[in-house]
């Protein structure tokens, strides 16, 4: 019974080709938009998640405080109130697994005939632990390098590419601000950070070397910021409290006075970014779904017209033995067929569009099989849902009324 009906549905669709195509267009655009939007949303989400993973987990950043100089307030980190000694004290706190005091600056790097300006961070070996940063070759500098302020460096991938090309930099000597530094190793690739900075465009050197030999400081041992890692996510609130209390004590801040430092929970910030990305992806999907519903209403509209136009045909079929459910089935199949074929074309267009977007706009897009299956499921449901009313209307016609209809 179903096969002759399928072929009749196919014939009916072919009988008014332009109208069928226009009806399908609503479905095509709806499904295409959903597939494309979900692909973009998924891509953005994945990018955010991998950026977060590249930051390291359970992270705090402690910035030295702002200060007021003659009425003009300087930003965070303007006054170097944090010191290496602060970092050593924090490391003793329960729940803190690692801390990396950091003294960043910008410097010109030279190797052979190449030169490159980049961010140079003076820090301790813990920095690699805190950031979950692996070395792809060589070895990290050690605490003894920090104690004796040796001129050694670890290079990020971007720096390596710009200074060395394909050459292996480990063991070579580069010049930073005209002083020679021995390259101990190369950092693994991290990619973009959440704010779009290239995390690989960086050089790590011992913090003491940076303070004493490269940048110099106003105050001995002062650092701009520190990155601290808690042992677990559950410990983060108590670690934050402990660090704040310890630093207030060490900086002799009386009750009621403002902190001269800022503690930021980076992981919480990251989670916010992740959930923002998720909400965005959901919203894109939701907006695209609206066009799918509009497409469904288009199908219903055309099916209603079709039922009216074919009232006589329905009458003839009933006069020769079609039951109500045969007529219902016929129109329902037609609606489902229109929406499924529309869906198929929509999926092809959506996937094609996603590939185009990733190629032209360089956006990360991911088409998941789940979203395609979902599109087919939704399209069938829309066919049934919006086809039901017209089909039922057709099936409830009285044979004699349908036959007399002119």
CA 254, CA 258: separation in Å to the nearest integer? 9
Q: Tell me the closest approach of the beta carbon of residue 2 to another protein, in angstroms.
A: 11
Show contacts of 122-125: CB within 8 Å, 24+ apart. 122/205, 122/206, 122/207, 122/208, 122/209, 122/210, 122/211, 122/214, 122/215, 122/223, 123/204, 123/205, 123/206, 123/207, 123/210, 124/87, 124/100, 124/206, 124/207
Which of 326, 349, 374, 405 is close enough to bind another protein by CB under 8 A?
A: 326
Q: Does position 12 bind another protein by CB under 8 A?
A: yes
Beta strand ranges found along 231-303 (DSSP E):
261-265
Q: Does position 18 bind another protein by CB under 8 A?
A: no
Applying CB under 8 A, the site for another protein has a residue count of 25
- Phi, psi of 152, rounded to the nearest 5 degrees: -130, 160
Which of 294, 323, 361, 377 is close enough to bind another protein by CB under 8 A?
A: 323
Q: Does position 317 bind another protein by CB under 8 A?
A: yes
C-alpha separations of 48 from 51, 55, 156, 265, 368 in Å: 5, 11, 21, 17, 17
Q: Tell me the closest approach of the beta carbon of residue 315 to another protein, in angstroms.
A: 8
Query: Which part of the chain contacts another protein (CB under 8 A), choosing from 20-28, 160-168, 208-216, 315-323?
Result: 315-323
Which of 71, 94, 321, 369 is close enough to bind another protein by CB under 8 A?
A: 321
Q: Tell me the closest approach of the beta carbon of residue 10 to another protein, in angstroms.
A: 11
CA 273, CA 184: separation in Å to the nearest integer? 35
Site for another protein in 98-137 (CB under 8 A): none
Which of 322, 336, 347, 351 is close enough to bind another protein by CB under 8 A?
A: 322
Q: Does position 320 bind another protein by CB under 8 A?
A: yes
Q: Choose between 63 and 322: whose C-beta lies nearer to another protein.
A: 322
Q: Does position 19 bind another protein by CB under 8 A?
A: no
CA 96, CA 242: separation in Å to the nearest integer? 10
Q: Choose between 196 and 321: whose C-beta lies nearer to another protein.
A: 321
Q: Tell me the closest approach of the beta carbon of residue 317 to another protein, in angstroms.
A: 7
3-state secondary structure at position 236? helix
Which of 268, 313, 358, 380 is close enough to bind another protein by CB under 8 A?
A: 313
Q: Tokens 């695209």 label which residue?
A: 288
Q: Does position 308 bind another protein by CB under 8 A?
A: no
Q: Does position 318 bind another protein by CB under 8 A?
A: yes
Q: Choose between 168 and 309: whose C-beta lies nearer to another protein.
A: 309
Q: Tokens 């509209």 label which residue?
A: 301
Q: Choose between 315 and 387: whose C-beta lies nearer to another protein.
A: 315
Site for another protein in 375-404 (CB under 8 A): 398-400, 403
Q: At what angle do helices 266-309 and 17-55 cross, to 10 degrees?
A: 170
3-state secondary structure at position 287? helix
Binding site for another protein (CB under 8 A): 1, 3-5, 11-12, 15, 312-313, 315-326, 398-400, 403
């Amino acid at each position: 019974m179903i096969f002759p009906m399928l072929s009749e549905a196919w014939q009916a669709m072919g009988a008014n080709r332009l109208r069928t195509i226009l009806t399908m267009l609503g479905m095509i655009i709806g499904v295409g938009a959903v597939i494309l939007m979900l692909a973009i949303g998924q891509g953005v989400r994945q990018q955010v998640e991998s950026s977060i993973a590249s930051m390291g987990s359970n992270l705090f950043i402690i910035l030295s405080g702002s200060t007021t100089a003659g009425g003009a307030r300087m930003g965070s980190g303007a006054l170097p109130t944090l010191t290496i000694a602060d970092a050593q004290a924090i490391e003793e706190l329960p729940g803190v697994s690692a801390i990396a005091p950091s003294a960043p600056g910008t410097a010109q790097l030279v190797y052979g005939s190449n030169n490159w300006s980049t961010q140079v961070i003076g820090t301790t070996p813990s920095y690699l632990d805190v950031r979950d940063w692996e070395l792809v070759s060589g070895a990290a500098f050690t605490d003894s390098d920090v104690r004796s302020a040796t001129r050694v460096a670890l290079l990020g991938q971007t720096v390596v590419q710009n200074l060395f090309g394909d050459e292996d930099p480990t063991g070579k000597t580069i010049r930073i601000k005209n002083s020679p530094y021995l390259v101990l190793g190369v950092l693994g690739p991290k990619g973009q950070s959440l704010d779009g900075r290239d995390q690989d465009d960086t050089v790590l050197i011992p913090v003491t070397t940076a303070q004493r030999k490269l940048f110099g400081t106003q105050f001995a041992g002062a650092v701009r910021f520190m990155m601290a890692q808690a042992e677990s996510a559950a410990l983060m609130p108590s670690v934050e409290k402990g660090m704040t209390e310890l630093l207030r004590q060490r900086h002799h801040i009386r009750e009621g006075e403002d902190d001269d430092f800022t503690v930021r929970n980076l992981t919480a910030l990251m989670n916010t970014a992740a959930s923002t990305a998720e909400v965005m992806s959901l919203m894109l999907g939701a907006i695209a779904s609206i066009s799918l519903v509009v497409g469904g209403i288009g199908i219903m509209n055309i099916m209603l017209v079709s039922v009216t136009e074919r009232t006589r045909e329905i009458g003839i079929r009933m006069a020769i033995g079609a039951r109500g459910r045969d007529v219902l089935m016929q129109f329902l199949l037609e609606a489902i067929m229109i929406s499924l074929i529309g869906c198929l074309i929509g999926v092809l267009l959506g996937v094609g569009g996603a590939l185009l977007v990733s190629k032209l706009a360089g956006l990360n897009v991911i088409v998941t099989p789940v979203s395609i299956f979902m599109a087919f499921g939704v399209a069938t449901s829309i066919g049934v849902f919006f086809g039901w009313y017209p089909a039922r209307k057709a099936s409830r016609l009285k044979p004699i009324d349908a036959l007399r209809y002119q």
